[in-house]
Amino acid sequence: MELIFLLVGVAIGAVGGFLVSKKLSASEQDYQRLEQEVNESKTSLANYQQEVASHLNNSAQLLAQMNDTCKSAMQQMAESTTLLNKATLEPNAMPFFSPETEAQLLATTEVKKPAKLRKEQALTEAPRDYSNEASGLFNDKKQVVTNSAS
């Protein structure tokens, strides 16, 4: 009888051990799956942080370039204002045309050909495409219809 109890105990122990190992195995698989997801999430977060840091670095560089450009533009505007103020104080200090252009303009005015004389038309005459007689279009008289069906 002891042998039967021993075999029944071993069978119950085997079934119980199988069930416990299966349950622990499932929880272990869940644990490994969750640990893998956590690692993937950490990697994704690290990549995202790296991208954001790179983007912010590029933005800072672009803003620095824009600042330098604005500074140079402000300096150029200050120089232009200074030159304009000098030009308004001394009227002939800054000519409108360059010396080469002024010389060329003077040369062309000396060589200029005399203009052709135009025939003056009398302002009382109508142009050639107008009729000399009134058309009667705006008279109150009835006009004869030529396209009638009669």
Rounded to whole angstroms, the Cα distance separating 140 from 115 reads 51
pLDDT tens figures, 123-146:
566 666 776 777 666 776 666 667
3-state secondary structure of 92: coil
- Work out the number of other CB atoms within 10 angstroms of the CB of residue 64: 10
Q: Which residue has the higher pLDDT, 100 or 59?
A: 59
Burial of 25 (0-12, 13-18, 19+ CB in 10 A): exposed
3-state secondary structure of 96: coil
Predicted TM-score (pTM) of the model is 0.39
pLDDT tens figures, 77-125:
999 998 888 767 766 666 677 888 888 888 887 766 555 544 555 556 6
